[in-house]
């Protein structure tokens, strides 16, 4: 008749608990090809019928940098920790552009794939994760320009640069954590779609991206530490640019907040994913 | 051996009414302590209620039921798309769910790219897709456009491409929802062939369809779901027949004619009912094309009637006379009918009408037809249900005429036919609007 069963899958009711039967990591591994395909689809689709194609990955942070360099660097004479202002701001704008752009896309990764969610099973986490993965291409292209600028401004190579993969990892963890949270929430609350762009814009100014953290008054610094984006941005600067002030304690808190965001995002996502198909 | 699919007391509850509260509503609910109130039972819809099923390895099971009966919800629970409110299901083996053809297709991607994406979504490893690529493209029949973005495809091409991917999956258990509702005849034939092939290789198949002919042909076993519950589970033919009967339950097949007005005649003898029976005398709830039928004409006589002649005419809905027959046509002479009640039976060996609606007019006259005792025009409307007339799963209806003849094709005159008994599945037609 039939061969021996290969696997046995039990489907148990959702009691609002975490789905413990299916382990996130093993499932993630089993479906890694699909993760790659989702990312590949995002990349393929993003620049189809766009004349400038992947150049957009550079144009956006570059134009931001030019505007900020003019307004803050030239007109306002914003201090920049002894680094030429364009490089100083661009170095932070690269991870920021990745974070803000990817978060926006990740938040709609579930609501934009309704037919997939209601018609086929796969670990739901692959959708925001795929977006996060796909964003890395743009990030890489924007980074090439950053390297070019560092050469142009004669930035010396230092051992600290070897730590930059850790900064990138931090950026991915933060983006994925926030992305899962926003994606899962927007299934239930479409309000996220309206709130998020506004929040992202606010965060650009609330975070020392276009200005150094040194301009933030001492007494506000602890609040700054609660902002995980600050930790991400300052880690990038500390790794890539010479002689950057680095407050281990406060940035440590900020990095800790990043992992809290990730854990919260993962928890909320796993908790609500069973009802996605019912309420989307 | 354990079952391929084991469903145990599965319930699925949906909240209706306030499905998707906004953040603002959530906040106001919290502020007004509304969330403490118990949700009223009226807002709850049970899509599945205590469904238990056990499907063995290698079985092909059809699932039928009206729209909204819970068929698709059941498949979704089995496919892990939605979770049961209570109860458990256990599935053994690699499950492929085809709830839609071409799930996850992206308009901007080419046919080839979508094969990769769709295959991957359905759980086919990339290596496997690559290995089968040529076969899939070949099967889909869209080679010419395979490197064109599918937004330029017609809906038929899209379907064919989607099914081509699905056809090259290798599941232990296949769950299919209404794929046959879409696509042209050729596409549907391909679908059925593929499903049949899987069945022959002893895969477990769960098949939802409104096309009862296909279900009857494909599945030995059939489960009828109604209002979220298993109404009947058993041999396909029996389940389908009962299901069809239930659909017609409210239609009277015994027609009372006592109160019918607008009749003419002396009234000495009058029809007071027309009944449709099966040959064993049981009242028949539905009349299917090709069934043996007994028409029973009930009368009441108030006076002695000599040499009456009973007859009827049958018309199509558009007024074409299908047949007219009477006792005198058979040279049957009834000397006299005394006052009282009685009936006449007309035995029809095989009702060789195709599925359609027919109108019947009745009359009783004297021998010559000069005196009309009772004449009821358009007395009864009969609905003949489609049936598997030629044992070919071709459910013929009024598009193929009014009547059919008991018939047989003989291919022995064609020299090169190797296997004259080979049957192709019929083209599937959209059901006629009622």
Distance CA B287, CA B268 (A): 32
Distance CA B244, CA B241 (A): 5
Distance CA A277, CA B12 (A): 13
Q: Under an 8 A CB cutoff, do B89 and A11 touch?
A: yes
Q: Judge whether residue A169 has pLDDT over 90.
A: yes
Kindly state whether residues B272 and B226 are assigned to the same domain: no
Distance CA B296, CA B287 (A): 14
Number of structural domains found in chain A: 1
Instruction: Specify if B43 maps to a domain.
Output: no
Instruction: Specify if A280 maps to a domain.
Output: no
CATH number of the domain within which B88 lies? 3.40.50.300
**Tens of pLDDT, residues A201-219:** 999 988 988 888 888 888 8
CA-to-CA separations, A113 to A189, A280, B104, in angstroms, rounded: 16, 10, 8
Kindly state whether residues B232 and B131 are assigned to the same domain: yes
Which residues on chain B are in Cβ contact (under 8 Å) with A279?
A: 19-20
Which of B57, B79, B117 is closest, CB to CB, to A37?
Answer: B117
Instruction: Specify if B142 maps to a domain.
Output: yes
Q: Which residues contact A65 (CB under 8 A, 6 or more apart)?
A: A86, A89, A90, A93
Number of structural domains found in chain B: 2
Q: Which residues pair with B311 in a beta bridge?
A: B326, B363
Strands B221-226 and B204-208: unpaired
Q: Under an 8 A CB cutoff, do A278 and B82 touch?
A: yes
Distance CA B430, CA B395 (A): 11
pLDDT at position B253 is 56
Kindly state whether residues B240 and B93 are assigned to the same domain: yes
pLDDT at position A8 is 61
Instruction: Specify if B229 maps to a domain.
Output: yes
Q: Judge whether residue B100 has pLDDT over 80.
A: yes
Query: Which of B351, B366, B385 is the last residue in one of the domains?
Result: B385
Distance CA B287, CA B381 (A): 12
pLDDT at position A6 is 47
Query: Residue B280 is part of which domain span?
Result: 255-385
Angle (CA) B369-B298-B383 rounded to 5° is 95
Which of B80, B149, B202 is closest, CB to CB, to A2?
Answer: B202
The residue among B81, B126, B152 with the most chain A CBs within 10 A of its CB, best to mutate, is B81
Residue of A nearest to B97 (CA): A120
Residues written for chain B: 434
Residues 113-132 (B) with a CB less than 8 A from some CB of A: 113, 116-117, 120-123, 125-126
The answer to whether B92 faces chain A, any CB pair under 8 Å, is yes
What are the phi and psi torsion angles at B98 (to 5°)? -115, 80
What are the phi and psi torsion angles at B325 (to 5°)? -150, 155
**Tens of pLDDT, residues B169-197:** 888 899 988 776 666 777 777 888 888 88
pLDDT, mean over chain B: 82
Q: Judge whether residue B334 has pLDDT over 70.
A: yes
Query: Residue A165 is part of which domain span?
Result: 24-272
pLDDT at position B63 is 93
Instruction: Specify if A12 maps to a domain.
Output: no
Instruction: Specify if B35 maps to a domain.
Output: no
Distance CA B394, CA B114 (A): 35
Instruction: Specify if B344 maps to a domain.
Output: yes
Q: How confident is the model at residue A88 (pLDDT cuts 50, 70, 90)?
A: very high
Q: Judge whether residue A1 has pLDDT over 60.
A: no
Instruction: Specify if A80 maps to a domain.
Output: yes
Which of B87, B91, B121 is closest, CB to CB, to A34?
Answer: B121
Instruction: Specify if B401 maps to a domain.
Output: no
Most confident of A215-224, B35-44, B124-133, B257-266: B124-133
Kind and range of the H or E run holding A256: helix A248-272
Q: Under an 8 A CB cutoff, do A13 and B79 touch?
A: no
pLDDT at position B402 is 82
Neighbours of B184 (CB within 10 A): 12
Q: How confident is the model at residue B104 (pLDDT cuts 50, 70, 90)?
A: confident
Nearest CA among B312, B313, B293, B395 for reference residue B354 = B395
| Alpha helices by DSSP H, B290-377 | none
Q: Judge whether residue A120 has pLDDT over 80.
A: yes
Most confident of B100-104, B212-216, B224-228, B430-434: B224-228
Q: Under an 8 A CB cutoff, do B90 and A8 touch?
A: yes
For residue A269, the distance in angstroms to the closest alpha carbon of chain B comes to 15
Query: pTM for the full model?
Result: 0.71
pLDDT at position B15 is 76
Q: Under an 8 A CB cutoff, do B83 and A5 touch?
A: no
**Tens of pLDDT, residues B296-309:** 999 999 989 989 99
Instruction: Specify if A15 maps to a domain.
Output: no
**Tens of pLDDT, residues A241-273:** 988 888 888 889 999 999 999 999 999 999 998
pLDDT at position B184 is 72
**Tens of pLDDT, residues A31-68:** 889 999 999 998 888 887 777 777 888 888 889 889 98
Q: Under an 8 A CB cutoff, do B108 and A9 touch?
A: no
Instruction: Specify if B309 maps to a domain.
Output: yes
Q: Under an 8 A CB cutoff, do B108 and A7 touch?
A: no
Instruction: Specify if A11 maps to a domain.
Output: no
Residue of A nearest to B86 (CA): A13
Instruction: Specify if A111 maps to a domain.
Output: yes
ipTM above 0.90, yes or no: no
**Tens of pLDDT, residues B215-270:** 888 888 999 998 889 999 999 888 988 887 776 554 445 677 777 767 888 888 98
Kindly state whether residues B243 and B263 are assigned to the same domain: no
Instruction: Specify if A240 maps to a domain.
Output: yes
Instruction: Specify if B314 maps to a domain.
Output: yes
Q: Under an 8 A CB cutoff, do A9 and B80 touch?
A: yes
Query: Which of B247, B272, B296 is the last residue in one of the domains?
Result: B247
Kindly state whether residues B106 and B223 are assigned to the same domain: yes
For residue A55, the distance in angstroms to the closest alpha carbon of chain B comes to 19
| DSSP classification of residue B103 | T
Q: How confident is the model at residue A132 (pLDDT cuts 50, 70, 90)?
A: very high
Kindly state whether residues B111 and B224 are assigned to the same domain: yes
For residue B169, the distance in angstroms to the closest alpha carbon of chain A comes to 14
Average pLDDT over residues A216-226: 85
CATH number of the domain within which B321 lies? 2.70.50.60
* Residue B221: CA count within 13 A, CB half-sphere: 17
Query: Which of B385, B405, B428 is the last residue in one of the domains?
Result: B385
Average pLDDT over residues B103-126: 89
Instruction: Specify if A262 maps to a domain.
Output: yes
Kindly state whether residues B99 and B224 are assigned to the same domain: yes
Q: Under an 8 A CB cutoff, do B103 and A120 touch?
A: yes
């Amino acid at each position: 008749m039939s061969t021996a069963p290969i696997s046995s899958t039990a489907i148990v009711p959702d009691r609002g608990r975490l789905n413990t039967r299916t382990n996130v990591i093993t499932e993630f591994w089993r479906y890694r090809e699909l993760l790659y395909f989702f990312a590949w689809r995002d990349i393929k689709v993003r620049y189809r019928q766009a004349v400038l194609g992947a150049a957009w990955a550079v144009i956006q942070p570059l134009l931001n940098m030019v505007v900020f360099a003019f307004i803050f660097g030239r007109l306002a004479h914003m201090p920049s920790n002894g680094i030429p202002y364009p490089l100083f701001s661009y170095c932070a704008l690269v991870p920021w552009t990745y974070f803000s752009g990817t978060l926006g896309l990740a938040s709609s990764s579930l609501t934009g794939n309704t037919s997939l969610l209601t018609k086929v099973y796969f670990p739901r986490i692959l959708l925001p994760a795929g977006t996060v993965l796909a964003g890395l291409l743009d990030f890489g292209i924007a980074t090439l320009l950053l390297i070019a600028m560092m050469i142009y401004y004669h930035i010396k190579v230092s051992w600290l640069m070897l730590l930059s993969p850790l900064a990138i990892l931090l950026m991915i963890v933060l983006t994925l954590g926030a992305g899962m949270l926003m994606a899962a929430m927007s299934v239930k609350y479409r309000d996220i779609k309206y709130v998020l762009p506004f929040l992202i814009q606010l965060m650009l100014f609330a975070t020392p991206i276009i200005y150094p953290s040194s301009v933030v008054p001492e007494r506000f610094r602890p609040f700054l530490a609660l902002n995980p984006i600050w930790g991400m941005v300052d880690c990038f600067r500390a790794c890539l640019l010479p002689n950057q002030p680095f407050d281990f304690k406060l940035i440590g808190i900020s990095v800790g907040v990043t992992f809290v965001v990730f854990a919260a995002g993962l928890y909320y996502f796993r908790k609500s994913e069973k009802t996605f198909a019912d309420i989307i | 051996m354990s079952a391929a699919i084991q469903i145990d007391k599965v319930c699925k509850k949906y909240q209706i009414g306030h499905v998707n509260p906004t953040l603002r509503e959530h906040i106001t609910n919290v502020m007004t302590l509304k969330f403490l109130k118990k949700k009223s039972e009226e807002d709850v819809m049970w899509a599945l209620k205590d469904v238990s099923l056990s499907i063995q390895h290698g079985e092909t099971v059809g699932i039928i039921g009206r729209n909204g009966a819970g068929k698709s919800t059941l498949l979704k629970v089995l496919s892990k798309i939605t979770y049961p409110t209570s109860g458990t299901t256990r599935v053994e083996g690699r499950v492929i769910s085809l709830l839609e053809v071409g799930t996850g297709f992206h308009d901007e991607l080419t046919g080839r790219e979508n094969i990769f994406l769709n295959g991957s979504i359905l759980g086919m490893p990339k290596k496997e897709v690559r290995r089968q690529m040529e076969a899939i493209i070949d099967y889909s029949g869209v080679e010419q456009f395979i490197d064109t973005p599918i937004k330029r495809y017609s809906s038929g091409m899209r379907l064919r491409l989607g099914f081509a991917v699905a056809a090259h999956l290798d599941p232990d258990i296949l769950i299919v929802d209404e794929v046959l509702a879409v696509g042209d005849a050729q596409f549907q034939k391909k679908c059925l062939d593929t499903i049949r092939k899987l069945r022959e290789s002893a895969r477990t198949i769960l098949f939802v369809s409104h096309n009862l002919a296909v279900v009857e042909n494909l599945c030995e076993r059939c489960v009828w779901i109604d209002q979220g519950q298993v109404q009947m589970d058993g041999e396909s033919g029996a389940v389908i027949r009962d299901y069809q009967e239930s659909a017609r339950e409210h239609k009277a097949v015994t027609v009372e004619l006592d109160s019918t007005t607008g009749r003419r005649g002396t009234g000495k003898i009058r029809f007071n009912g027309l009944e449709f029976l099966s040959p064993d005398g049981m009242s028949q709830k539905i009349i299917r094309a090709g069934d043996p039928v007994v028409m029973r004409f009930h009368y009441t006589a108030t006076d002695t009637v000599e040499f009456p002649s009973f007859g009827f005419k049958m018309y199509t809905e558009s007024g074409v006379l299908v047949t007219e027959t009477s006792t005198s046509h058979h040279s049957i002479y009834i000397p006299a009918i005394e006052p009282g009640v009685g009936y006449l039976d007309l035995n029809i060996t095989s009702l060789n009408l195709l599925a359609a609606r027919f109108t019947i007019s009745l009359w009783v006259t004297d021998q010559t037809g000069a005196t009309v005792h009772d004449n009821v025009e358009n007395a009864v409307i009969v609905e003949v249900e489609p049936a598997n007339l030629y044992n070919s799963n071709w459910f013929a209806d009024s598009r193929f005429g009014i009547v059919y003849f008991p018939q047989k094709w003989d291919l022995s005159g064609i020299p090169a036919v190797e296997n004259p008994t080979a049957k192709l599945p019929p083209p599937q037609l959209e059901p006629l609007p009622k």
